[in-house]
Structure 1
Amino acid sequence: MLLGIKLKANPTNEQKQVLSQWMGCAKFIWNAKCGEEKYYSVFARKYYSIGTYAPVDQKAAQFKSKELSPWLYNCPSQIIRNSAVNWYQTYQKFMKGECGKPKFKSKSDRGSVHLTKEVFKFVQCDDGVTRLFIGTKTNNIGYLSFKSHRKFTEPKSIYIKKERGLYSISFCYDDSFDEKQLLGDEEHLSYLKGAIKEFLQEKTVGLDRGVAVPVHAGYKAFDFTKEQKLSSSKSQRYIKCLQRRLSKQAKGSNRRNKTKIRISKHYAKCTNIRKGKIKTVSLFLIKQHKKQD
């Protein structure tokens, strides 16, 4: 069974600079594919007969130019390929109606880069510590430091993400558990079809998530604790203060960027408080249900 994991990364200043450049190259290829598809679609609609559609492929070699885009030559070709393939797969899902159409990615402090197994490897050193090597033999950033809080097997691909000035590594791995042992949706439905009303009312719990009160479970409300309310209100006051400061700072300045990062950190703190409360309530209801059984 596939499990997801997210690990905190601690890159050096030099590694941050290179990773940001790689993320920018991946975003450039994504936006270039979006622009190419838009141009061909408009051209085909205006100048070709009805029923002629723009070609959709995962080629990206046409975007590399030593005159127009010389920075792409400093990025591993696997990253450029992965960005084009991800765009193509997203477009195929859009054609099937599974998701929306790929859109242009705006400039922001957030970014991500998709690395396949040719561009990374987990190495267990002599001291027993597992380290992550990023890059190829000729173009790499060395070993990336990360915090491992759980055991995992080596994945086939990873994502390195940047948000609020913080870096993380996320991927899926196989825990060798057979999913066939679990019941499917149809099996669950066939089991519950024969249950009586009293059994269903006793064994099921309906949860309603709100804004002021995070969780309502049946006739019981689970509100934030006093400490959580104080921490959240304090972050909201900081956000208002920093928003006033942000409006007076020059666009593009380093101080304005630092203020934006501070605002995003306080927003993330409020989000984490809500997520932590929901997780606590879920675990409480599960343990309470086990005691009743």
Structure 2
Amino acid sequence: MKARYKFRFYPTDQQQQRLAQLFGCVRVVWNDALAICKRSEKKPSSGDLQKRVITQAKKTEERAWLSEVSNIPLQQSVADLDTAFKNFFASCKGKRKGRKVGYPRFKKRTNSQSARFRIGGFSLKGQGVYLAKIGIVNPIWSRELPSVPSSVTVIKDCANRYFLSFVVEINPVISEAKNQSIGIDLGIKTFAVMSNGSKAESPNYSKHERKIRKLQKKLARQQKGSKRRNKTRIGIAKQHNRIADTRKDFLHKLSTKIVSENQAIVLEDLNVSGMVKNRRLARSISLQGWREFRTLCEAKSEKFGRAFHVINRWEPTSQICSDCGFIWGKLELKVRSVRCLKCGTEHDRDENAAKNIESSRHRALGDSKRTQRQSKTTFVASVSEVSRITVASAR
């Protein structure tokens, strides 16, 4: 299986100029190819686009400077555009799973920049990495590469940080887990509540959010195109990167711990795109990274030989007693604990949902220990029913 290894590096002033020239050429080739596709009645092939925007363009005075950079990233830029169109057409025809993919867009100078080198355009030189017509860059090796990389992508983000992203082949690591399975209920204040009773609190991003709001107000008052506005824009990008880095570090550590300790991981399929339409919770939901956590758990489960399951989003995990199977109906979000009318057990809402998520996987596989429930569904619980529910602080 393939994996990405990402390392930061600090280029010299001369290398920064060469990388800026490379990023500009890659961006121009992409934009020229996309403009041709928009003007054409039928999309040209990738080979025809490479011939027009690279080979023939180098012979003109307007694009003669394309010869000053390596040809491999330019060809890869056209190939990436062709892949973007294939994903767009497949999404329109319903052949691609997930959210619909939009039409390819033109690249901007202020956005994140990248250029990909295939074999022949880069090589490992001791502790450095040679890039064609750039020179040897020295990344900060936080870990060793498990195999020879098949490609490397040079990335410059909006905060002017430089990274090398390697694509390598890794072998699955088969190991025994101390727990059989675990169900995970995802939330906002408490990011994850596990069926074994453990909880994982979400990081606090409020400090960075306050700085972002302050800088965005300052940005709105500054003149467009000025150096001070560009400096403020970079400051906003740095704060966003700090939030993203904090979240990514938290999600990696949590997913690694869960996958290494459990043989089967069960998650709920959340409709995040529908949940963010709630204007009161949209910002908090967007900061959590639920989809990224699911992707990490799925990838690491494949790496460590674990079973990964996602249950139906319509499964009533918050409406069923995890002990006796009694159905008490829907609950308001401010209701944080429930007392079952049938067995009298008092449940924490999130822990009860996590246990039901874990048992839903057994029911789907047909090895559930429960028999068919004979209790009837009750009406929706209200806050005034003290005998059934207990109101606690909001999640």
Q: What TM-score does the superposition give when structure 2 sets the normalisation length? A: 0.55
Contact 1:117–1:157 under 8 Å retained in 2: yes
Change over 3 Å in CA distance of 1:211–1:36 after alignment to 2: farther
Match of 2:191 among 214, 220, 223: 214
- 1:105 Cα shift? 2.3
Change over 3 Å in CA distance of 1:257–1:284 after alignment to 2: same
Aligned to 2:144: 151
Q: Distance in 2 between matches of 1:280 and 1:149?
A: 16
Match of 1:112 among 92, 114, 117: 114
Match of 1:57 among 43, 46, 55: 46
Change over 3 Å in CA distance of 1:288–1:113 after alignment to 2: closer
Alignment of 1:23-172 (within 5 A): 23-41=23-41, 53-58=42-47, 59-63=49-53, 64=57, 65-96=59-90, 97-98=95-96, 100=101, 101-124=103-126, 130-135=127-132, 140-152=133-145, 153-163=147-157, 164-172=159-167
Secondary structure of the 2:190 match is coil
- 1:289 Cα shift? 4.7
Alignment of 1:171-250 (within 5 A): 171-175=166-170, 177=171, 203-218=180-195, 221-224=199-202, 228-229=203-204, 232-250=205-223
- 1:288 Cα shift? 5.7
Aligned to 1:257: 230
Aligned to 2:317: none
Change over 3 Å in CA distance of 1:284–1:174 after alignment to 2: closer
- 1:147 Cα shift? 0.8
Change over 3 Å in CA distance of 1:76–1:148 after alignment to 2: same
Secondary structure of the 1:31 match is helix
Q: Distance in 2 between matches of 1:54 and 1:160?
A: 28
2:255 maps to 1:279: no
Q: Distance in 2 between matches of 1:288 and 1:83?
A: 41
Aligned to 2:380: none
Q: Distance in 2 between matches of 1:158 and 1:288?
A: 32
Contact 1:214–1:277 under 8 Å retained in 2: no
- 1:72 Cα shift? 1.6
**Gaps in structure 1 of 5+ consecutive residues:** 42-52, 125-129, 183-201
Largest Rg, 1 or 2: 2
Q: Distance in 1 between matches of 2:89 and 2:111?
A: 30
- 1:102 Cα shift? 2.9
Residue identity over aligned pairs, in percent, reads: 24
Q: Deviations over 1:27-55 (max 9, x none)?
A: 211122221111112xxxxxxxxxxx443
Secondary structure of the 1:215 match is strand
Q: Deviations over 1:91-115 (max 9, x none)?
A: 3344444373433223324100011
Aligned residues: 243
- 1:73 Cα shift? 2.5
- 1:249 Cα shift? 1.8
Between 1:93-102 and 1:113-122, the stretch displaced more is: 93-102
Q: Distance in 1 between matches of 2:37 and 2:62?
A: 19
Q: Distance in 1 between matches of 2:183 and 2:134?
A: 49
Contact 2:6–2:163 under 8 Å retained in 1: yes
Secondary structure of the 1:143 match is strand
Change over 3 Å in CA distance of 1:234–1:40 after alignment to 2: same
Please provide the CA RMSD for this pair.
2.6
Contact 1:215–1:221 under 8 Å retained in 2: yes
Change over 3 Å in CA distance of 1:212–1:264 after alignment to 2: farther
Query: Aligned AA for 2:109?
Result: K
Aligned to 1:16: 16
Query: Aligned AA for 2:231?
Result: K
- 1:271 Cα shift? 2.5
Query: Aligned AA for 1:69?
Result: R
Q: Distance in 2 between matches of 1:110 and 1:119?
A: 21
Q: Deviations over 1:142-176 (max 9, x none)?
A: 2112111222232221100011110000021124x
